[in-house]
Every structure is written in C-alpha cells, then in structure tokens.
Structure 1
C-alpha cells in the first residue's frame, strides 16, 4: 500500500480526512507540526502529502508551511505535495506551486474533489517511479548483453543464439534491415568468443570502390600498382587471431566473392601483386540487409559463398516488430545522450510516448538514436515532446503523433480529448490549475474529464 501523509494542526480536519480517506488503498500518517511531519516523511517516504500552509508556531502565516514544503522536496523531489489553503490565500497557493508543490486545495475541504487530486498524484508518482525503474532496467540490460537492449521475444531469441554460438569459431551471417544493429551483434559475438583478446576488424563492403576493395581486404605488395610504394597488410591479416566483420557483404563484387570463398576454404590469402600464400587465423562474421535468396537467384551473389558465411544465420527484426522495445531503447538512449550533452532531460511527454509507439521507424534503431539526439539538443524542458522528436513533420496516417486507425468519429474525439488532457497535465507537471487554463476549461470540468477517462485511477 502507498503511504499518504496528512499535515494539519486542526484536529477536526485531521479527523475528517482520517475517516474520509480510510476506505482508500493508502496507509495514512498524520502530523500536526513541521518537525513531526519531517520525521514521518523521512521514515515512510510517502508518495503524496497534503500540507496545510498555516502551521504552528506561526499558524497565522504560511512561513512554516513553506519551510516544510522546501525540506520535503529537498529530501525527496519526486514526492507529490498538495498544499491546503484558506479561501483568501490564493497567492500563497500559487507561490507554493512555483516552489514545487503538485497542486493546491482550498478549505472547506470537499472530500470527493480531494480524492481525485490524491489519486491523480499517486498515479503520476507511480508512472515516474516506473520510468525510473525502466531506465535502470535498460542500463542493466545493455551492460549484461554487450550493449544490446531488448526484451521482446524475438530479441531474447537473438541474445540466446549469440550466447550459444559466440564461443565457437563458426562463420555467422547477421541479416536485417539497415539500422537494426547488425554491427552491435557482431561485436557481442566477438566479446563473447575465445578471441575476445584479439582484434575485431570491420570493413564495409559497400562503402569502398570496387577497384580498391581487393587491396583493402587482402593487402598489396610494393609495386603492385601505381602508387603502391610499400607493402601493406589488408584487413584480413590485421584481424588474424580475432574477428573480421564484413558488413554489407551482399554488395561485394562477384569476382571478389570468388577470392573470399577461396580464403574461407583454405584460410590463406595472397596480397595483390604477390605470389606467396599467407595463412590467416580469423573468424568471419558477415552482415547484409539484402534478400540473399533473391540475390542468388539473380546471380549477383554466389550460393557456395552463402553456405560458407552463413553456417549460422542471426536475423534481427525491424524495430516496428519489436513490441515494447521502443520505449526501452528510447529510455536507454535518452539517459546516455542527455549525460553526454550535459542536458537536464529525463523523460518523454505523453504525446512523445504516443509518437514513439505509433511511428513506423523505417530507419530502425539508428533513426531512433538520431531523433533522440536532435530532441535532446532542442528540448526546452525535462520532458522531450513529439515536436522535438520531429513526429509532427510526418505525414501519412498520423496526426501530431496519434494514430487513429479505423476508429469512429466519437472514438477519435474521445482519444484526442484524453491525449490532450494527459499532454497538458504532463506539460504542467500534474498541476491541474495550470493544465485547465492551458486547455481553456474550468477546474471542475477538468476533474470531470479526469474521471471520465479514468486518469485519476491508480
């Protein structure tokens, strides 16, 4: 059960709240003075506090109440403090909000309205706590899995397969769309292998001109061609004793595929312009984003080479098919990027969370990381918004990051209404007064809408 602390020097009010809130799923704690309140606050760490600003020994002013508020938020900034004021103390209430209070409530107390505020406060507190725990889980998952973050069944299968094959020397082919993290998988395989103390050498077969790639792979002898003023080792030799990662192997010219096949069969190479066989002890991990079967059928990729490099095939699913992993990855990258850039950005607004979930991610994890880097740089608050992620620039079946699908007009209206309420509450950090003003509605109307959409439920 959650802990709720009530701080008030009026015994009648304490009794009213004690009995009025007794049926709720909270453990109630009562205090009448600042020192007593802070002692209880430190012991039970309540998620929500109701705090009367007029406390002894200066009950006729707000001095003690403000002091108590400041001390509580210093101990636990995540606590949601609801200040209770008299009808003529609006300025004090607004000042408390500026100092970090969650919301304010005026006497005489309406228990039904106060229940909604308390439930909403606990709801937001739980969400923030869950986000913090999720970020910690993402960091732990990254450390445990060589930097690979993922919890969906497909990625658990990938991680399991990496664990099984890493220690062997069999050639591995990693397939998947561009940006799905194929090089990260190759590095995880190397890190989990017996060759981990040896070098890992990467070469992008699609990024090197065709007339240079043979020399890049196998090296060349002095005088082998114009400009070859010295003997140079190739990437294959550099990788001896370790792992050679051939990225985008599907882009390798057919004539080079023949020479690579010979190397894989015999584990010897000849430098360009050389005649000497050079034995090399290296493990091959290759990657491609093309359909190898189609390339074989088209004659652009040798079938015998495919069987050599693909003894084990690890397929990486696109991000759009990794249910639940988008938020996990987003939290992981957000923490890392914010720390790297020195920005105080710690979470996502509701519209950004919707955008993360509904966007199709054609560029996969690489696009997610790039969008987050841009968003952190542009962020004006601690929460990244949909606009900062660039979702509002997208056309298609989305509107401001929301996907309406085949909903009726009534359902779509309700969805937008709920999203706007959630977004306004998040933007104003749960402050119902400010959120109501931003939406152009009254505070009672806001409470009605919160009840309607179940946003006050824990």
Structure 2
C-alpha cells in the first residue's frame, strides 16, 4: 500500500504552503495544521500515513505532540522539523520515537529522499499486517468449518472447484448455518489470500446509510460529510467483499450494485470520478431470491449476476452426525475462552442434541453448548445441563408423538406382569380419548359443534363420548351445549 495521506504541522504559513505544493507534486494528499491542538483534531478524524511536525509551536512543542502520537497512533511515522540543529534536539526526537529528523532550511531533494524511505516503511508495515491478517483468517477458517457428513462433503467439493477462480458466489441457507464461514473459506482458498476480506451485512445498516458504506463519499457530499470516506468496495481492494443478507438490499441500490458487477468500477457519493475496483464478490442470503424476483422485490438481472455459482448450506437437522464433532469443538473453545474444565458430553445428552431440530442451526448449538459449559457443575455435560432439551413439551419430528406414547406405554407395562393385564386396548384408547377431547373442548371454549369439526367426528358421537368419559360432570371442563 503506497504512502497517500500526509499531515504537516507548522506555525509558519509560508512553509506549510511550500510543503503542501512539494508533497502534492508526488501525488500525496496533504492536510495542514498550525498548532498541536489542530493537529490532534485532524488525527482524531482521519488516518494518515506520515506526519511532519515542527519542533516549536505556539501551544505545545513538537516533541510533546510526538509523545501523544506515539501513545495513540504508534504505527504513524513522524518526521521532526526544526530550525535548531542541536544534538540535543536530534537525540531527544529519536528517543521519543520519531522516524527521522530534518533541519530547516532543508533541501526539497532531501525531503523527497526521506519520503521514499517513509514509503518503504509504510509498505513493509502493511505487508506485515497483511501476513498477520492472513494467518488469523486461515486459523479462523480452519477452526470453524466442521463436519464430515455427506451434505458438508458436497459443500467442500464445491468450494474446492470455485475457490481458486474469481467467479461470483452466492451462498444460501437458513440463519445460523455458517454462510460467512463459507465465504471466508472461499477467500482463504483463493489467490486473494492475504488481501482484505471485508464483510457487510446489508440488513443491519439503515438503507439511507448503506450506499455510503458500500461506495464511500466525498467531502461535502451531504450534511455532515466533513471528510472523504472510503467505502467497503475500496477497502476490499485486491481481496474479497462479502455481502451478507443481499436479499434485503433496497431496489435502487441493487441497480448500482449491478453496475459495479458489470463495469468493475464504483463512484463515491458526491464524486464524479469512476474508480476501478479489483474485488471478488461473494453474497449470501437466507431468503428465496427467486421468489423475491417473482414478487419484484429483487432484480432478476442482479440475481443472475450473483447466482453464477450457488452454494446451498444444509441446515443442522439434516446432518446430525456432525453434531458430536461440533459439540466437542465448542466445548474445547469454551474451555479456552472461559477457563472451564469440561471433559465432554454424556451419551444421553449427545443423543438428545442429535435428536433436536435446531431451528437456529449451528449458531444455536454453539450458544447452547457454551451456556452449558459455563453453568454446569459437572465435568461431563449431562442431559440436565441443556434446558432446550429438558423443557421440550412438543414433538420435534413427525413421529414424535408416536414415539412419546410408545415410551410411556413401555414404561407403564414394565411395572406390571403381562398376565395381570386385561382389555389393554380399550384401556389405552380411553386414556388417549379423555385428554384429547378435554384439550379440544378447552381450545374451542366448550363449543361442541366446533370441537366435532376439529376432531372429524359427528356431533352426536362427540356428545356420547363426553358422557361416557365423564367430561360433562359439573361442566368443569368447559363443555357447553348448543341449541339444536
């Protein structure tokens, strides 16, 4: 990354003017300040690549300002300027962390040589940051994409086929399935590894701010735009931009995004210059974009531009065999982050976790395991450590009610010898009918006509069953009789 933004701080107006002209000829954007207070205000509102400070200023010395900069912006190279070429000043400036020192009056060629040195320093620091970011991204990607099930194997295969190219990818799936993790995996396995990965959730930003977040704006573009702002597309230069929840993007902005995809250039708000961009676009949504196209809530041409390679993520309920791996990973992470000492999960608890439907998918499972690790008094997590499983009162599968009844019957029969039981069929039917009729009558507020419709039986049949099952005594069950 090249040296771009420079701050010059000097109380001499003529010198500020000369430096602004000289630096501007090298393609640098120069901001000026006439005192330490003005310089600090500039630094609070803008990022600079280099600062040139006069050592003598009306409010505070350049050395004191250098101390502030070293504390708040330690990576900013600072060149000290002074008319006093004393050894004391030179030593003091370097001791306090100045990048270099130059005396007035100085030759502009000497200043240019210093700028070239500073440029190399900035480039080296950005390269170090890039490599550190790449390592962190690689670790994050390796840590979080977990699963050996067949549905996940299909996802991995598709990732392998598309990652190395710059082709646009659209990731779809329910909330919590890990769409951003897949987007990061695409980036990490591409030729753009080490370049920026910039994520933006289109649903989390008000529509009036979304355009400026994506494309940036020029100074004065609107009220409050005091400085130029670089948007996400420019921030992602050379890397990947991940547009999450793309289905929530307003229609008027969809047209501008389509142009970006077609022309590979953007324009900042308030600007009149087209800026070429080199980014890979990965989008994601939990919505049915084809349905939104049909209802004219999403542009058809944009959909086809995004949907070059679709990756459909399976919900967790379709890959329960991955849950033991995920649980183990989340337990290990909790132990590291919260200093807990959980050694695993009991077989019963693990079976319960695999049988649950997980409407919130992997994200919900992670939160559930994390909570259990924090609150459990056991070294091995038990079924009782998971309220989401313990408190289930409704069946979670289509055959859940049948399984529940079977378990109850099995438990009841185990307590009796089979020879002691007579007329079991009638007994079970009566015990099933009584609560069923009571619940339906409660739901219909005792309206027998409506209850009969719900049950799918004749009203006279319902009345007979109410009488035989003792549901009308004292009318405590909310039973009412309609006039015939």
TM-score (norm 1): 0.57
Partners in 2 of 1:275 and 1:144 — Cα distance?
39
Q: How does 1:303-342 map to 2 (within 5 A)?
A: 303-342=300-339
Q: For the Cα contact (< 8 Å) 2:218–2:229, is it kept in 1? A: yes
- Out of 266, 269, 272, the position equivalent to 1:272 is 269
Q: How does 1:293-312 map to 2 (within 5 A)?
A: 293-312=290-309
Partners in 2 of 1:216 and 1:253 — Cα distance?
14
Q: Does 1:389 align with 2:386?
A: yes
Partners in 1 of 2:228 and 2:356 — Cα distance?
51
Partners in 1 of 2:224 and 2:140 — Cα distance?
45
Q: Does 1:257 align with 2:257?
A: no
Secondary structure of the residue aligned to 1:160 is: helix
- Out of 192, 195, 209, the position equivalent to 2:192 is 195
Q: For the Cα contact (< 8 Å) 2:141–2:181, is it kept in 1? A: no
- Out of 351, 354, 358, the position equivalent to 1:354 is 351
Q: For the Cα contact (< 8 Å) 1:404–1:412, is it kept in 2? A: no
Secondary structure of the residue aligned to 1:387 is: helix
Residue 410 of structure 1 deviates from its aligned partner by: 5.9
Residue 21 of structure 1: aligned partner: none
TM-score (norm 2): 0.54
Q: Which has the higher contact order (CA 8 A, sep 6+)?
A: 1
Q: How does 1:405-444 map to 2 (within 5 A)?
A: 405-407=401-403, 411-412=407-408, 414=410
Q: How does 1:238-253 map to 2 (within 5 A)?
A: 238-253=235-250
Structure 1 unaligned runs (5+)?
Answer: 1-141, 419-458
Partners in 1 of 2:212 and 2:320 — Cα distance?
43
Secondary structure of the residue aligned to 1:406 is: helix
Residue 347 of structure 1 deviates from its aligned partner by: 1.3
Secondary structure of the residue aligned to 1:361 is: coil
Partners in 1 of 2:411 and 2:251 — Cα distance?
54
Secondary structure of the residue aligned to 1:326 is: helix
What RMSD, in angstroms, separates the aligned Cα atoms of the two structures? 2.3
Secondary structure of the residue aligned to 2:320 is: coil
Residue 342 of structure 2: aligned partner: 345
Structure 1 pair 314/404, CA: closer, same or farther in 2 (3 Å)?
A: closer
Partners in 1 of 2:224 and 2:404 — Cα distance?
70
Partners in 1 of 2:146 and 2:404 — Cα distance?
37
Residue 404 of structure 1 deviates from its aligned partner by: 5.2
Secondary structure of the residue aligned to 1:324 is: helix
Secondary structure of the residue aligned to 1:169 is: coil
Residue 144 of structure 2: aligned partner: 147
Partners in 2 of 1:271 and 1:415 — Cα distance?
70
Structure 1 pair 408/325, CA: closer, same or farther in 2 (3 Å)?
A: closer
Partners in 2 of 1:160 and 1:324 — Cα distance?
19
Q: For the Cα contact (< 8 Å) 1:145–1:159, is it kept in 2? A: no
Secondary structure of the residue aligned to 1:286 is: strand
Residue 339 of structure 1 deviates from its aligned partner by: 2.4
